[in-house]
Amino acid sequence: MTKIVISGWVPKQVTAPYADKAEFVYPPDGQNEFTRKELLKEIVDADGCLLMDNEGDRELIDTAKNLRAIANHGVGYDSIDWKYATEIGLPVINTPTQVTEATAEHTACLIFSVMRSIAHYDREVREGKWCSPNFSDINTQIEGSMLGILGFGRIGKRVCRKAQGMGMKVVYYDKFRAPEEVEKEYDVTYMDFDDVIKTADCISLHMPYFKENHHLFNLDKFRIMKPTAYFVNCARGKLVDEQALVTALKENIIKGAGIDVYENEPSVTPELCTLDNVILTPHIASLTMKARVGMCYEALDGIFGVLNGEKPRNVVNPEVLKF
Ligand code: DGY
């Protein structure tokens, strides 16, 4: 029977619709994910693999002698050595549709929370303080502020709508400028990358990570932001020089940040955790039950599509599909 390995624990509702198609192997109740050793053992004779938080590196791919499709539980697939997979003709699958709404919601929550210093006030109340001055510019009125979206794909567009719902204006940069009718529909203005950074009152990053854009956001980029502006990242940690972010926040080069992704996950630069002007969440932007289960279905549909000789739309290297 077809064997599908899922590297992390999943609720039964994830595998139930496919029960007659394959045998599923995943960690038992109470264990969040397979250890590397367990994963390498299970994957040896697997036909398909859905990676939750694990690396799909060359060793793992080479260990899996029967593997016909490998999927990541997310839209990003930088955790899979997709170049190597492509070289050897292995289809790589992602979940571009189901992550969108939850990730955009979380991004909007971070934008609004950091601009209104929600975490700071929460800490004050818990510490028994009730001493905020009557006039303070610790936070910023969202309505009328300018959001700069870097990466105007599915998630960037949903964030745009949510921000506009709060009265923000939106400028954007994307490697591929949107057609004029899309810009009209979304009521957005296109600018060069640096111009977005200079103009916006809050920057939200929505770009994929590739080695080529490592540390795309460094101290120079923070320095051209307005000192009153905020920085939000729910995309990938390695796009940002985390030490530069610490400096920017500590030296008031920028006003605040909302961060869901980190350069060396699961480690977080310790100094970041000591700063009051940053809100930190542990890479959970897509974490709603609806989204996470939907992402599993999207990935498994992609895997079974490939195994059935179809061309699912969420194969990121379709050139390997020779049928
Ligand atoms: C994604 O979609 O790539 C997320 O980071 C996974 O939660």
236 part of the active site: yes
Catalytic residue among 236, 242, 292, 298: 236
* 94 shares a domain with 55: yes
Q: How far is the CA of 103 from the centre of ligand 1 (A)?
A: 8
For 280, residues 6+ apart whose C-beta sits below 8 A from its C-beta are 259, 260, 268, 272, 273
* 267 shares a domain with 140: yes
* 207 shares a domain with 140: yes
Residue 102: is it exposed, middle or buried by C-beta count within 10 angstroms (0-12/13-18/19+)?
buried
User: For residues 177 and 175, what is the distance between their CA atoms, to the nearest angstrom?
Assistant: 6
User: For residues 40 and 62, what is the distance between their CA atoms, to the nearest angstrom?
Assistant: 10
Nearest alpha carbon, ligand 1 atom 2 = 74
Domain total of the chain: 2
User: For residues 315 and 89, what is the distance between their CA atoms, to the nearest angstrom?
Assistant: 12
* 87 shares a domain with 104: no
* 211 shares a domain with 107: yes
* 22 shares a domain with 124: no
Instruction: Please provide residue 297's backbone torsions phi and psi, each rounded to the nearest 5 degrees.
Output: -60, -40
116 part of the active site: no
* 104 shares a domain with 93: no
Nearest alpha carbon, ligand 1 atom 1 = 74
* 292 shares a domain with 275: no
User: What is the span of the domain harbouring residue 192?
Assistant: 100-280
Indicate if ligand 1 lies below 6 Å from the C-beta of 94.
Answer: no
pLDDT (tens digit, 0 to 9) for every residue of the chain, 323 residues total? 999 999 999 999 999 999 999 999 999 999 999 999 999 999 999 999 999 999 999 999 999 999 999 999 999 999 999 999 999 999 999 999 999 999 999 999 999 999 999 999 999 999 999 978 899 999 999 999 999 999 999 999 999 999 999 999 999 999 999 999 999 999 999 999 999 999 999 999 999 999 999 999 999 999 999 999 999 999 999 999 999 999 999 999 999 999 999 999 999 999 999 999 999 999 999 999 999 999 999 999 999 999 999 999 999 999 999 87
Indicate if ligand 1 lies below 6 Å from the C-beta of 257.
Answer: no
User: For residues 51 and 4, what is the distance between their CA atoms, to the nearest angstrom?
Assistant: 11
Task: Let me know: does 92 contact 110? Beta carbons within 8 Å.
Answer: no
Residue 99 CA: nearest ligand 1 atom is 2
* 266 shares a domain with 121: yes
CATH assignment at residue 271: 3.40.50.720
* 141 shares a domain with 166: yes
Give residue for tokens 């060793």. 59
Nearest alpha carbon, ligand 1 atom 4 = 74
* 243 shares a domain with 94: no
* 308 shares a domain with 169: no
User: For residues 224 and 151, what is the distance between their CA atoms, to the nearest angstrom?
Assistant: 19
Q: How far is the CA of 283 from the centre of ligand 1 (A)?
A: 8
